Amino acid sequence: MAEELIEIDDELENGEGSEELYERVNIIADKGQEPLRVDKFLMNRVEGATRNKIQQACDNGMVIVNDKPVKSNYKVKAHDRIVVYSNKNPENTQVIPEELPLNIIYEDEDLMIINKLPGMVVHPGCGNYTGTLVNGLAWYLGDHTTTPAPEPSIPRFGLVHRIDKNTSGLLVVAKSEKAMNDLAKQFFDHTVQRRYLALVWGDFEEDEGTIEAHVGRHQRFRKIMDAYPEGEYGKEAITHYKVLERFNYVTLIECRLETGRTHQIRVHMQHIGHSLFNDDTYNGDRILKGTVFAKYKQFVENCFEIMPRHALHAQTLGFIHPRTRKPIHFESPLPDDFKAVLEKWRRYVSARPLEE
């Protein structure tokens, strides 16, 4: 039997873990496998599984055999390819509901689209137990009390993915377990359309490209991530990028994700020598490209003051609606700080010739 468990990256200390919050087990039945109900078959092969949990997963379409959802009475046969999706157990952090501005740009009976402001942590974690998006969701989806929220009917109050604390932009939140399961599978199958805008240090020779490097926890500095050659360490990560606007010393690019690893764009850009502008975790909060003149240094410092965070914005999000099965698409305009920094760079490069 060939078996692979795809786990989720551990949480980082600021409460921001992997974008994808589900795990998946892939199993191929032995050539000598005799017919056996799938719920019984999986009980001995999925850690922590019970027959009841597996039956619920089947009911929610989370057990796939040979690319098709099956019921719990399906008989597993030799060479069957079985995929089981499940949410990783929610963290034990007690969530206190808080009335917070969530900036909901779309909502129906199945899901919400939130345009997250920079500076808001998505999930409570070490050092961030209040003021998070989940605290706000607990209030919005609950009974509007400030007592600790009871065990939610859906894990993590509907979170399917995350973005970093200082990244702005779009998040989808499920309002039912069925919608959450459906969206989780779309993230796993890489069919969700996610595009980010990033301002990065340096210029590019080419107009577009693809970065393929595994992303995993840094082996010396455990609070950050790093890029590694394929197969060496970490998990597969693929980022496609396209140049949108050049400012000689920095470049505005669009990034399209195939995978959702922790800090993926930030790590990949540092990996190829183009750290995000003002990314204090991945060396972008100092001058990496440009002149030695005092006026230029002051200009960059002024930009950092205008945008005191890394320059990354989750601009677009598209997926198949879990109920209607129709594609839906959302876009988020750049926040004011990002727009202000871009305009400042436009004025700077248009007012003077290259100084290096």
Instruction: Tell me the two tokens of residue 171.
Output: 């998040």
State the Cα–Cα distance between residues 283 and 276, nearest whole angstrom: 8
What is each CA distance from 89 to 8, 168, 203, 245, in whole angstroms?
Answer: 11, 26, 43, 42
Contacts of 270 (CB under 8 A, 6+ apart): 227, 276, 279, 282, 283, 284
Residue located via tokens 């202000």: 340
Asked if 164 is an active-site residue, the reply is yes
Of 9, 164, 285, 337, which residue is the catalytic one? 164
Please tell me the distance from the alpha carbon of residue 273 to that of residue 32, in angstroms, as a whole number. 51
Instruction: Look at residue 161 and give its three-state secondary structure.
Output: coil
Residue 249 · residue 289 · CB < 8 Å: yes
How many angstroms separate the CA atoms of 203 and 197, rounded?
A: 15
Beta-strand runs (E) in 179-233: 193-201, 208-212, 214-217, 225-228
CB within 8 Å of 180: residues ≥ 6 apart: 87, 154, 155, 158, 160, 174
- Strand pairing category for 238-246 and 111-116: unpaired
Of the candidates 312, 51, 33, 72, the one whose C-alpha atom is nearest the C-alpha of residue 169 is 312
CA neighbours closer than 13 Å in the CB half-sphere of residue 213 = 20
Catalytic residues: 164
